[in-house]
Amino acid sequence: MTGKTHVGIGVISAVALSQYKMVELSLGGLLVCAIASLLPDIDHPKALLNKYILPIKNKAVKTTIYFTLGVFFLLLNFFYLNLKYVETIGIFFVLTGFSSHRNGITHSLTGLLCFGGTFGYAARIYGFKEYIVPFL
């Protein structure tokens, strides 16, 4: 699937769920849903999100950048923050760097649990709990 297809299916799902009062339909909720729907492809060098993150679209650059981001978050958390969700983000970036597309961590239940758990934890801490369901 392309990035546009991921976003389309995510937003349509949120709109459909809003009919059953499972999701409160708002511009912020739809934006969160659209961004979250792109996360399963983040392990592919040519994914839509990586268009803005990676300067060169190949596997070696993807691995290097995500591994470096992961180590940065882990060190930042270890020396300054000591927050579980920052540690989870760091670990997930490292795993994403070495993950292969479709067989990797982001295209699995593990990816959903990692992304959703981290977002949910941060959302509860910072007071934007209404975006947890649209994110999922």
Q: How confident is the model at residue 107 (pLDDT cuts 50, 70, 90)?
A: confident
Measuring CA to CA, how many Å separate 56 from each of 42, 60, 92?
14, 9, 21
In the predicted model, is pLDDT for residue 103 greater than 80? no
CA gap 30, 7 in Å, rounded: 10
What's the pLDDT at 68? 95
Residue-wise pLDDT tens digits, 25-84: 899 999 999 999 999 888 888 888 888 888 888 889 999 999 999 999 999 999 999 998
Q: How many residues does the chain have?
A: 136
